[in-house]
Structures are given as C-alpha cells and as structure tokens.
Amino acid sequence: MLKNFDRFNFYLQKNEIKCSQIDNIVGELLLSSRIGNNFYIRDISSLENLRESSILFIDNIIFENKSKNIHIVTNNEKNFDNIKNENIHYVKDIDRAYRLIINQLLKHEDELSFEDNFINEKNSFISKSAKIGDNTKISNNCTIGRGVKLGSNCIIKNNVVIKNAIIGNNVIIGDNSTIGSSGFGFNLKDMGSINLSPQIGIVYIEDNVRIGSSCTIDRGKIDYTFIGKNTMLDNQIHIAHNVKLGENVCIAAQSGISGSTIIGNRVIIGGQAGISGHIKIGNNVVIAAKSGVTKNINDNSIVAGFPAIDIKEWKKNIIKNRSDRYK
Amino acid sequence: MLKNFDRFNFYLQKNEIKCSQIDNIVGELLLSSRIGNNFYIRDISSLENLRESSILFIDNIIFENKSKNIHIVTNNEKNFDNIKNENIHYVKDIDRAYRLIINQLLKHEDELSFEDNFINEKNSFISKSAKIGDNTKISNNCTIGRGVKLGSNCIIKNNVVIKNAIIGNNVIIGDNSTIGSSGFGFNLKDMGSINLSPQIGIVYIEDNVRIGSSCTIDRGKIDYTFIGKNTMLDNQIHIAHNVKLGENVCIAAQSGISGSTIIGNRVIIGGQAGISGHIKIGNNVVIAAKSGVTKNINDNSIVAGFPAIDIKEWKKNIIKNRSDRYK
Amino acid sequence: MLKNFDRFNFYLQKNEIKCSQIDNIVGELLLSSRIGNNFYIRDISSLENLRESSILFIDNIIFENKSKNIHIVTNNEKNFDNIKNENIHYVKDIDRAYRLIINQLLKHEDELSFEDNFINEKNSFISKSAKIGDNTKISNNCTIGRGVKLGSNCIIKNNVVIKNAIIGNNVIIGDNSTIGSSGFGFNLKDMGSINLSPQIGIVYIEDNVRIGSSCTIDRGKIDYTFIGKNTMLDNQIHIAHNVKLGENVCIAAQSGISGSTIIGNRVIIGGQAGISGHIKIGNNVVIAAKSGVTKNINDNSIVAGFPAIDIKEWKKNIIKNRSDRYK
C-alpha cells in the first residue's frame, strides 16, 4: 500500500531550513549533531516512506541512513553512534524536537486552512487548488480544502469538511462528516493545544468507498490514513490517524479504530466496537458488535467481547459465568 | 403505526416502467416471469404497506397477491410457483434486482438532493417544496430538503440537515444533527458505493420530540423510520433505517439502535447502549447504560450487560465472577 | 473552581418578576408561600453559586437563607418550615415550577438564538455581541452566538457552533463540534420538548484546551460546564451539562461523561469509556478504554471494566472466568 503524495499541494513551506540550522531550532534540547551534507530540508520521512531531501524522526530503532539526503533526528544514542548516520541530530526530547522543527518548516492545517482562496458555491467553500472530478456533486455548506483531489462521480453531502485528502471515484461522504482533520497527536507529558505534534499527512480514500453521516477520519501524522476500495462505513465512525483499512471492509455505526492500526480485506466490524492502536487485524476477520480488540487478530477469525477472544469461547464464558439461577 | 406518504414529494420518478420492461432491466438475473396485468409501476410496496400500482420485493415469505396492481419480484421459487401470484418476476439475486429496478424508477436522494431549488435564508437552504409550519425557526447553515414537512413551533438549530422527513409540532433538533439521510443498506456480498440498495423511505417524527446535537436518524428503506410523541434523544444518538421508537422513550447519549428494531412506549435507555437490529423491545422497559441488547425484551423488564439480561442476574453474575480477593 | 458570569450577556430578561408574582406563575402547583422581602428577581442561584436578587430551587436539602435577596422555591416541607427562610415558595412539583418561572424570566437559547444580529464572514455567523480575541481564526460555516467570549490565538475550524461560552486563549475546536448547546435536562415523569428544564448556564473553557471533531459539550444547567487548562479531547466526545474536567485531562475518542460529574487533574480516559453522572473522579486517575465508571474513584487509581474496578482485579477476573479450554 505504499503511496506517495506531494505534501506541498496541501500546505506551504514556511521557511527554508538547512540541516545546520537545526541546532538553533532545537536549542536546549540539543545533545550532539553531525552534518555530512548540509542540504535544504524539503520534506519529512517516515521509516515506511523515505523521501528525498527530508528529515526523519526516529526513537529506538537503529536506522542505517543509505541516502545522504535524509537528515535524522533521534533521542537514541545508539542511532547517533551508528557511523553510517552521517547526518544526524541527537536530542533530549524527540517529540518537542519534532514540533519545533516541523512548525518552522511548514504552515500546516491548523494555521493555514484559514488563508486559502475559495470558490463559494451553494455556500460550500471549494479551494481554488482543489481538483474536482467530472460529475462529482458537492452539496451545501461544505469546505473542500487546499490541494484536495476528488475523483469523478463522487457525492459529497451537506456540511462535509474535506481537507488534506486524495479521494477516488464514486465515493459517497455523508452529511456532517469530517475527513482529513488533524488527529490526536501529542505526548502525555506535554499536554495542551500549544504542544500538539504537527499532523502533516493526508487521507487516501480509494474508489467506491461509502462513508456515513457524522464520521471523523483523521489524516496521517506524516504519511497517510488509508481506506481501501469498496469499504463501507456506517454513521458516527471514528478512524484515527495512520489507520489503514483494506478493501471491502464493512464497519457498523459508532465503532472506532485507534491510531496506526492496520485492518485487512473483507473484514466485518459490528457496531460500537473499538480497536486498539498499533495492532494488526488479518483478512476475512469478523469482529462482533461492542467488541474491544486489544491484540493482533489472525486471518479468518471471528472474535467478540472485551478483551476480544474467539467468539465460541466468548459464548462458553458467558454460560459458565452465569449465576446459579441460570444453571 | 401504519402511515402512508407520497413518495414523490421527496424525489422524482426517473422513468415510466411497465411490468413487462423488468425482463430487460434485470437482464441476466432473470429466471422466469409471469405478467397477468401489464400496468405502469408507480410506487414500491413492503409487506407492511401494500401500495397501489407498485412493485414488491420479497424473499422467503410466501405472499398471496390479492391485488392485481402489485408486481412481485422474488428469489424464491415457491413464491413464483404460487398460482395466486399472477404478476411476478423470479430472479437470481433479489438485492441486485432491487437496485437495478429502483434506480431506473426513481431519482432518489443520493443523486437528487443536488438538483433542488432552494430559498437561501441565513445560509440555510430551504427547498421551495418544503412546508414550514408557523413559528418554526430554522437557524444558520441548515439544509431542509425537497418535500420535507416541518410542523409549527419547531426549533431547528445550526448546521442541521433534514431530508426525506415529515416532522410534527414543537420538535427540537440539535446542532449538527442529520435527519433522513440514507441508511447503511447493501448486501455484504456486493460491497462498494455503487452497489448500495436504494433507500427511498422517509423519517416520521411526531410532536414534542427532542433530538440533541450530532444525532443521525436514517430514513426508512422503503417505508419509514419512526419517532413517537414526546420522545427524548440526547446527543450523538444513532437511529438506523426502519427503526420505530414509541412514545415517551428516553435515550441517553451515544446510544445506537440498529436497523428495523421496534421499541415500545415509555422505554428508558442509558448512555452508550447498543440494540441489535430486527428485534422488539416491549413497553416500560429500562435498558441500563452500556448494555448490548441482542434479543427481544418483554414489557416491564429491566436489563443490563452484554448480552443484556435481567439486571438482578447481571449484578449477581458480577459478584459471582469476582476474583478471590473480593470474596 | 467557583466562577461567576453575567447571564445577561448570553440571553435577555423576558419579564420583570417580583417574588409576589410567583403565586400566579406556579398556579395550581402552589402549596404555600412567605414573602419577607418582595424584590425583583434578577438571576438564578444554585447552592454552589448564590447570586444577589436571585431565585433558588432546592429539593431535599435544608437551606438557611442568610441573604434576604434569595427567594427559595422548594418542594420540601422542611425547607418551608425553616423559620430562617423568610422568602420562600412551597410547591408540589419543583421541576415544573422551575420551568414555569424561568421561562417567564428569561429568553434563553432555545428561543433566542434566532433573534440575534450577526456579522456574516465566510458564511460564519458571529454575533455582534461576541468578543473575539486577537489572532483568533474562525473558519467557514460556523455560528458564534450571543455573548460568547473567545480568547486570543484560538482556532475554530469549520461548521463549529459555539453558544453560551467563555473560552480562553490558544483553544482549538475541531470541525463539526458543538459547544454550549442545551443539555438533556427534564423530569422523566414529564417527557416531551415542551417540558424541558430550561438550561441557562454556560461553558467555561480554559487556555490551551484542544477539542476534536464532532464533539458535543453541553452548557451548565444554572452555572457552568468546565474544561480546565491544557485538557485534550479527541473526536466524538460527549460532555454533559455541569461536568467539570480538571487540568491536563486527556480523553480518547467516543467517550462520554454524564451530567454533573467532576473529574480531577491529570486524568487519562481511554476511548469509548462512559462515566456516570454525579460522581467524582480524583486526580491522576487512569480509566481504561471501554470502561463504565459508576462510582467515585480515588486519586491515583487505575480502573477498567464495567462496572469499573481496579485494573489488576479486572485482569484477574478475566483469567478466572475463562472457560476450561483456556485453563
């Protein structure tokens, strides 16, 4: 599912920054640095998507920098000591360093969405830089933000907000839904809106996806949140940042998927289910309504309960645990 | 609670279709057909609401067609063999046949809501065909769709979307709520937005109903979703298609009712409860917060837990199942 | 956390009422009355916030009226018999009396928000009486109601409704959220929108709070709903009337807090958790995802499950209650 996108379709570069300027930006967080190649930083990488002339924030994973155009920021001494990393900053607090550097580099949604030029049609604000496909209909009181790409034959109902998103053909988005807003990214040690980790990724939605009313699909932190072809979301669904949903996934109302979780193809999820962050659900899985899934689930499983277990075991447990009157 | 309504107040007929044309519309799905009376199909029936000059889709229920003006489409050979059904198509896949025929017959919400003529008042779009009662107030950035009827003394707050709905007097609808959008109707074998089952019913809301903020009330598939007199909904409630809520029902925040479930009068439902589809909850029932109700519930019951059981048993089970430290 | 505010910034007085007129307003609910000082009623008190020249509704708590400018309405004979209460009405039904009197005294949100004068900017309606701080940005299709105060450097995203609220600096409010709408206040004996208890309080939000998309924060009934400094709310959170959240609280998506509950500082609440009304959660508490908290929780506790218990016990119970296959 590796996909790339031009980040600068969605927001603007704020300042030109060379690797050597990071010393100043991180200030007292600086422990040490090495600059083999003092290039202009033009983008942000993740371990999954290494980008040219970019900066990469990594904590406890040792990374061999094979490209001279990736500048590393780490809080891990081992990363710094690795002789192959010629372009690196070693800092005390990687979350703060991320915030300080990205906020120097980019004007991202939380400050930018108010500065765009819009076409106003039926009280919907459509950014002049958005690309809207043939026969795509946008109803009343929507906002379609900078750089958004909407395929053909899409139906965008009323009061829908779409920002930072690339959307395929035949996609339906229900009333009062929000696609591509910033996710819940920060460090619990540093709460408060002024300490948010900049969320600078996007949302990819493939063809034939159906999203109900009052859903919230947050954009990726650095890369993207992904919804595969033919996937069907009911109302009041929450999809957190970096989540990947496969193709032909069906999610009933009021369920939520926490950040960075990956869900396979042909997965069916009942209503009011919750799925923890950073886990992996296989293909052809069925997750019963109201389940709380806390661990990886293998292909072809059917699970229920909280914490979710095999549905047959869940049913046995329910019978076993009934009080005597039922026995 | 049988109620009728004129479907064509809400959407337009797309094509005139005679029974004999269905052969062509369903194409390769066709197994056999009989046409006793080749009339123009003007409406859609359900088993609960048989309508004149209409088409009726039924699967495994044997139906005696007592009216010559109801044309049946079925995937059940027994229905077809029934000699009383003189007007009938026997098809391989009834969901696909429904989709193909209805999409030929009607321009329904998902294609039509963008073609209406609106009066624009306080940035609220009010269809010229909507009927708004005396002293009813519509606040900012709302959409009131084609054919909607709002009684008198209603309060429609901000960013509210109302489509395909008949609403009584003194009804309050909270900010950012969506009433009458299309429900989550499709066959799991045929996912994707292009395979949605057309949702062509409405929402009936009786007098004195109070709906909170960010609620989603989907319209009926063929007939209607119903909310009885004096019923009170808190915020972020989800009511799926074809649900019927009685009078004086009270539902606390973030609860959801799945499709086609019927709830009696004077029922109290706590917050974050979920109720399965196609079940029946009696009168005077209390459903505790966070319950998951999966079966019919008798009048005057008090239930809790998931799956929900009598609340006294639920409490006994909790005590029984505590680890030793609590005993 | 006691805070005061001028109620009449948010709504208008409808009629001037003297204590002696209450006999007529409550009509057949009247049991008895005493009027020591027949002053004009200018405000409404709660036991926590006694206000000058006000009316106070109390049920079963004996109250010593130390100020001659508080007129009591009670359904409790003991309150009436208390010789220190010189200004008092004794009535049959205090909820109805509250409704009748407040609706005579005030034009509150549910009738008033439609009568304001707005500046229309980017299709956002900003009340001429609202105060917007420096560098605060309001995006498209919002409504900022009468008397609202927004601090500096706030970011109000799209389709946001803010009414009856005082908001600090650096606050971010996500798309499609509703702040300060009327809560779910009524007596179960008297359902229906015409029997709602007037909700006439506000929402206080301190500096650096971050609220996600599609959240609903109801205003206080008489006083206020409160969100402390640096508190972080994810998407689709519901905060009911009179709730107080401390500082540095973090709540994950789709959780809900019922009315009048008080939550301490540095509390972390997982996703899809529910917290009952009228309880108290201490400082430094962690509440696991999907918990249902029904009782007060001490400082520094970690709880899980429904009903929520110490998380270690919860885990033991899960192991104990597995069916034999797992043992």
Residues 6+ apart with CB under 8 A from B53: B39, B40, B41, B42, B43, B69
Looking at residue B157, its pLDDT comes to 95
Q: Which residue of C has its CA nearest to A213?
A: C214
> What is the pLDDT averaged over residues B310-327?
79
Q: Is C325 near chain A, with CB under 8 Å?
A: yes
**Mean of all residue pLDDT scores within chain B:** 92
Please state, in angstroms and rounded to a whole number, the distance separating the CA atoms of residues B221 and C7. 46
Please state, in angstroms and rounded to a whole number, the distance separating the CA atoms of residues C220 and C213. 21
User: Does residue B322 lie in a domain region?
Assistant: no
Do C216 and C98 share a domain, yes or no?
no
Is the pLDDT confidence value at C113 over 60?
no
Contact criterion met (CB < 8 Å) for C210 and A193: yes
Q: Is C311 near chain A, with CB under 8 Å?
A: no
Contact criterion met (CB < 8 Å) for A321 and B316: no
User: Does residue A25 lie in a domain region?
Assistant: yes
Could you say which of A86, A107, A128 is where a domain stops? A107
Report yes or no: A77 and A60 within 8 Å, Cβ to Cβ: no
Of B140, B155, B212, the CB nearest to C184: B212
Count of CB atoms within 10 A of residue C111's CB?
16
Size of the A and B interface in Cβ pairs below 8 Å: 143
Please state, in angstroms and rounded to a whole number, the distance separating the CA atoms of residues C175 and A176. 9
Do C274 and C156 share a domain, yes or no?
yes
- Give the tokens for residue C137: 């940005």
Looking at residue B121, its pLDDT comes to 75
ipTM: 0.95
Of A113, A192, A274, the CB nearest to C272: A274
- Give the tokens for residue A173: 């988005």
Is the pLDDT confidence value at C199 over 90?
yes
Task: Write the pLDDT tens digit of every residue in C134-161.
Answer: 999 999 999 999 999 999 999 999 999 9
Looking at residue B1, its pLDDT comes to 46
Could you say which of C69, C88, C107 is where a domain stops? C107
Task: Please report the sign of the dihedral spanned by the C-alpha atoms of residue C287, residue C293, residue B275, residue B184.
Answer: negative
Angle (CA) B225-B91-B75 rounded to 5° is 60
Do B165 and B263 share a domain, yes or no?
yes
For residue A74, the enclosing domain spans 7-107
Is the pLDDT confidence value at C249 over 50?
yes
Please state, in angstroms and rounded to a whole number, the distance separating the CA atoms of residues C327 and C319. 8
Task: Write the pLDDT tens digit of every residue in B255-294.
Answer: 999 999 999 999 999 999 999 999 999 999 999 999 999 9
User: Does residue A126 lie in a domain region?
Assistant: yes
Looking at residue A115, its pLDDT comes to 61
Looking at residue A327, its pLDDT comes to 45
Output the domain CATH number for residue B192. 2.160.10.10
Please state, in angstroms and rounded to a whole number, the distance separating the CA atoms of residues A176 and C214. 8
Give the percent of chain C with pLDDT over 90.
78
Beta strands in B247-319 (DSSP E): 250-251, 256-257, 262-263, 268-269, 274-275, 280-281, 286-287, 292-293, 302-304, 309-310
Do A178 and A153 share a domain, yes or no?
yes
Residue ranges of chain A with pLDDT lower than 70?
Answer: 1-3, 110-116, 323-327
Please state, in angstroms and rounded to a whole number, the distance separating the CA atoms of residues C177 and C165. 13
Looking at residue A118, its pLDDT comes to 74
Please state, in angstroms and rounded to a whole number, the distance separating the CA atoms of residues B56 and B70. 7
Return the closest-CA partner of residue A247 out of A224, A221, A261, A268.
A268
Please state, in angstroms and rounded to a whole number, the distance separating the CA atoms of residues A177 and C246. 29
Strand order in the sheet with A172-173: A137-138, A155-156, A172-173, A210-211, A232-233, A250-251, A268-269, A286-287, A302-304, A309-310
- Give the tokens for residue C26: 């409550």
Return the closest-CA partner of residue C138 out of B35, A114, A68, B80.
A114
Is the pLDDT confidence value at B117 over 80?
no
Report yes or no: B256 and A272 within 8 Å, Cβ to Cβ: yes
Report yes or no: B154 and B169 within 8 Å, Cβ to Cβ: yes
CA dihedral C21, C24, C28, C33 (to 10 degrees): 30
User: Does residue A322 lie in a domain region?
Assistant: no
Do A260 and A125 share a domain, yes or no?
yes
pLDDT category of residue B115 using cuts at 50, 70 and 90: low
Please state, in angstroms and rounded to a whole number, the distance separating the CA atoms of residues B146 and B112. 9
- Residue C116 has φ and ψ, to the nearest 5°, of -85, 165
Q: Is A265 near chain B, with CB under 8 Å?
A: no
Looking at residue B116, its pLDDT comes to 67
Q: Residue A127: how many CA atoms within 13 Å on its side-chain side? A: 24
Looking at residue A2, its pLDDT comes to 52
Do C33 and C166 share a domain, yes or no?
no
Do B74 and B194 share a domain, yes or no?
no
User: Does residue B326 lie in a domain region?
Assistant: no
CA C121 to chain CA mean position, Å? 29
Residue that has been written with the tokens 């409490």 in this structure:
B315
Task: Write the pLDDT tens digit of every residue in B183-226.
Answer: 999 999 999 999 999 999 999 999 999 999 999 999 999 999 99
> C residues 21-40 near B, CB within 8 Å?
none
Is the pLDDT confidence value at C94 over 60?
yes
Angle (CA) B5-B9-B10 rounded to 5° is 100
User: Does residue A31 lie in a domain region?
Assistant: yes
Please state, in angstroms and rounded to a whole number, the distance separating the CA atoms of residues C156 and C211. 10
Residues 6+ apart with CB under 8 A from C246: C228, C231, C263, C264, C265, C266, C267, C283
Report yes or no: B63 and B88 within 8 Å, Cβ to Cβ: no
pLDDT category of residue C112 using cuts at 50, 70 and 90: low
Return the closest-CA partner of residue C223 out of C9, C63, C8, C45.
C45
Task: Write the pLDDT tens digit of every residue in B150-186.
Answer: 999 999 999 999 999 999 999 999 999 999 999 999 9
Of C238, C274, C320, the CB nearest to B323: C320
pLDDT category of residue B320 using cuts at 50, 70 and 90: confident
Is the pLDDT confidence value at C324 over 70?
no
Could you say which of A107, A141, A164 is where a domain stops? A107
Do A241 and A203 share a domain, yes or no?
yes
Of C214, C289, C322, the CB nearest to A216: C214
Cα-trace Rg, chain B: 22
Looking at residue C327, its pLDDT comes to 45
Please state, in angstroms and rounded to a whole number, the distance separating the CA atoms of residues B297 and B293. 8
On chain C, the residues whose CB falls within 8 A of the CB of B139 are: 113-114, 143
- Give the tokens for residue B277: 């589809």
- Residue A312 has φ and ψ, to the nearest 5°, of -70, -40
Output the domain CATH number for residue C101. 3.40.1390
Do C100 and C154 share a domain, yes or no?
no
Contacts 24+ apart (CB under 8 A), A126-134: A129/A9, A133/A169
Please state, in angstroms and rounded to a whole number, the distance separating the CA atoms of residues B42 and B40. 6
Looking at residue A1, its pLDDT comes to 46
Task: Write the pLDDT tens digit of every residue in B48-102.
Answer: 899 999 999 998 777 777 777 999 999 999 989 988 888 999 999 999 999 999 9
Is the pLDDT confidence value at C239 over 90?
yes
Report yes or no: B197 and B98 within 8 Å, Cβ to Cβ: yes
Number of domains in chain C: 2
Task: Write the pLDDT tens digit of every residue in B135-156.
Answer: 999 999 999 999 999 999 999 9
Q: Is A317 near chain B, with CB under 8 Å?
A: no
Please state, in angstroms and rounded to a whole number, the distance separating the CA atoms of residues C271 and C212. 13
Report yes or no: A65 and A12 within 8 Å, Cβ to Cβ: no
Tell me the β-bridge partners of A245.
A227, A263
Burial track C9-48 (b if 16+ CB lie within 10 A, e otherwise): bbbeeeeebebebbeebbeebbeebebeeebebbbbbbee
Give the percent of chain A with pLDDT over 70.
95
> What is the pLDDT averaged over residues C116-126?
79
Report yes or no: A264 and A245 within 8 Å, Cβ to Cβ: no
Q: Is B314 near chain A, with CB under 8 Å?
A: no
Burial track B42-69 (b if 16+ CB lie within 10 A, e otherwise): bbbbbeebbbebbbbbbeeeebebeeeb
Do A65 and A172 share a domain, yes or no?
no
User: Does residue C112 lie in a domain region?
Assistant: no
Please state, in angstroms and rounded to a whole number, the distance separating the CA atoms of residues A262 and A242. 9
Report yes or no: A183 and A110 within 8 Å, Cβ to Cβ: no
Please state, in angstroms and rounded to a whole number, the distance separating the CA atoms of residues B297 and B264. 10
Do A296 and A173 share a domain, yes or no?
yes
User: Does residue A325 lie in a domain region?
Assistant: no
Higher pLDDT, B4 or C103: C103
Please state, in angstroms and rounded to a whole number, the distance separating the CA atoms of residues A138 and A60. 45
> C residues 224-263 near A, CB within 8 Å?
229-232, 234-236, 248, 250, 252-254
Amino acid at C101: I
DSSP 8-state symbol, C283: T
DSSP 8-state symbol, A297: B
On chain A, the residues whose CB falls within 8 A of the CB of C272 are: 256, 272, 274, 292
Burial of A327 (C-beta count, 10 Å sphere; 0-12/13-18/19+): exposed
pLDDT category of residue C1 using cuts at 50, 70 and 90: very low
Do C154 and C294 share a domain, yes or no?
yes
